[in-house]
Structure 1
Amino acid sequence: MTPQSDEDEVWRQIVASFNEKAEDASADQPWPDRENVAVETVHEDGEAPEHEDEPRDEADDEPDGSAEQAADDEGHYVPPPPPPLPRGDALSRLSWVALFGGPAYLLLAALLEWPMEGWIVFTAVAAFIAGFVTLVVRMGDGPPSDSGWDDGAVI
């Protein structure tokens, strides 16, 4: 038998069994029956009926609603609080103010139709450029000074 004839036979079997009913899926169920979720009906008074034949969760036996809280907390990651933002030095803060303050003033003056003389426009544009250049120069492109002798993978 050739590999091609094996494939043809497999396809014939698939086509022949296309309209057949599938076997009961519960026989091949990869989990135990006690983990199946039962559909609950709600009475008119808003309470769910108690079924003794349904499996009970051990968390249901806990008093004071701690079972509900445990179910809500299960699987949720609560990250630790982030560290405070660094304050930065005065020059960095002044650079950020100049970077955003110059264009913000020009936009505000244009929207409110304030008179803009040449020296005001020049100062706002110069503040923007100076703030940008200062932040880029202070950014630094070298490795941190405390990185030790091994600077990692260098490409």
Structure 2
Amino acid sequence: MTPQSDEDEVWRQIVASFNDTAERDSADQPWPDSENVPVEPVHRVVKPAADEDADVEAEQGDEDDDDLDEDGEGRFEPPVPPPLPKLDLPTKLAWVALFGGPAYLLIAAMANWQMEGWALFTAVAAFIGGFVALVVRMGDGPPNDSGWDDGAVL
């Protein structure tokens, strides 16, 4: 037999047994011992307090236990996020216009106010102007401190 005919025969066997059921159901297979994880109970040592200093230490130990979850492992506390960048006056005005125009229209519609044509135009123009101002100020170039090479940083 050639290697090609062996592969063809194996392929035919795979195709022929496609709809056959498995000989052993996965529920019947035993669980491998290497996959078993031993269950160890959490042990806590409690020492009797002899004097006030020991009471203080015991109270501090109780506070430390509050940081532990039910498995006895510590909780993750993320670092404090960096402060938001300071915005200049034109950027602040653009954000106010972007949200202020639609907010005025929404409040005026909900309160059933009579809207003049100039107020309606001003609200829509403020929204569009604020959006355009933010997009224009966004910039699309690399940061100024990137240097001459825009390659990967290792």
Q: TM-score range by the shorter chain?
A: 0.5 to 0.7
**2:28 matched to 1:29?**
no
* Structure-1 residue corresponding to 2:129: 130
The AA in structure 2 aligned to 1:108 is I
Gaps of 5+ in 1: 38-55
User: Aligned partners of 1:69 and 1:127: how far apart in 2?
Assistant: 52
Identity of aligned residues (%): 49
CA RMSD of superposed structures (Å): 3.6
Contact conserved, 2:68 with 2:74, CA < 8 A, in 1?
Answer: no
Q: Are 1:103 and 2:102 counterparts?
A: yes
C-alpha distance 73-117 of structure 1, shift in aligned 2 (>3 A) = farther
For each residue in 1:28-65, what CA deviation from the matched residue of structure 2 results, as whole angstroms up to 9, or x when unmatched? Answer: 31146xx334xxxxxxxxxxxxxxxxxx54x5133456
Match of residue 43 from structure 2: 60
Equivalences, count: 127
Q: Which moved more, 1:67-76 or 1:124-133?
A: 67-76
Deviation at 1:152, TM superposition (A): 2.4
The residue aligned with 1:119 is: 118
Unaligned runs of 5+ in 2: 47-60
TM-score, normalization: structure 1? Answer: 0.62
Which whole-Å deviations, capped at 9, do the CAs of 1:64-118 have from their partners, x for residues lacking one? Answer: 5639826456375332121121231111111000011011101111111111111
Residue type of the alignment partner of 2:38: N
Of 65-74 and 143-152, more deviation after overlay is shown by: 65-74
Which range is displaced more, 63-72 or 141-150?
Answer: 63-72
CA contact (8 A) 1:99 1:127 kept: yes
